[in-house]
Amino acid sequence: MLRGRLAKVAAVAVVVAGVLSINAGLILSGSSTTLATMWAPVADRPAAGPATGSAAAAATEPSEDGVQRVVVTVSDTGYSPAVVRVKAGVPTELTFRTNGTQGCTRSLVVPSLKVGRQLPATGDTTLDLGELGPGRLRYTCGMGMYSGTVEAT
């Protein structure tokens, strides 16, 4: 009796692990179809991915030299703020700030730009994004578990 139930539990665990692995691959490849995007219409909310720090979107303004500079704090459990709003067509720099960070969030991937960086445990790493067109630029950890978005409007 226990053996039969254990086999069913193991089968469910294997299926769940497979679905999560496929989802991580979709996220890392920059696919617009992920579990979060498929679930959003059902949950009646925008697809933001896993909880990745502050839910509030941060907006930025260009500095005196005309460059938008955004700082994202990287922790072991995500990126904060998780959503950053910038002006499209304006040069943009995105700085990832770590402070004793040890998680997979240190392995940063920007799929649409084909950028991958290993962030230091403590320090700043700046990506020059150039002039972004209108739309969303997603970045994620190396495992596809945690993500963030730059929204250019």
pLDDT in tens, 8-55: 888 888 888 887 777 777 776 666 676 666 666 665 554 444 444 444
| Range with the poorest average pLDDT among 55-59, 78-82, 88-92, 101-105 | 55-59
d(CA 57, CA 19): 29
Say if residues 26 and 34 touch (Cβ distance below 8 Å): yes
Segment 135-146 mean pLDDT:
89
The pTM (predicted TM-score) of the whole model is: 0.68
Segment 94-109 mean pLDDT:
94
Locate 69 and state its tokens.
Answer: 């500079």
Helix %, strand %, coil % for the chain, to 5? 25, 40, 35
d(CA 130, CA 151): 14
Among 114, 109, 115, 116, smallest CA distance to 146 is for 109
The domain 57-152: what is its CATH number?
2.60.40.420
d(CA 121, CA 104): 11
Q: Which helix (H) or strand (E) holds 14?
A: helix 2-28
**Which amino acid is present at 13?**
A
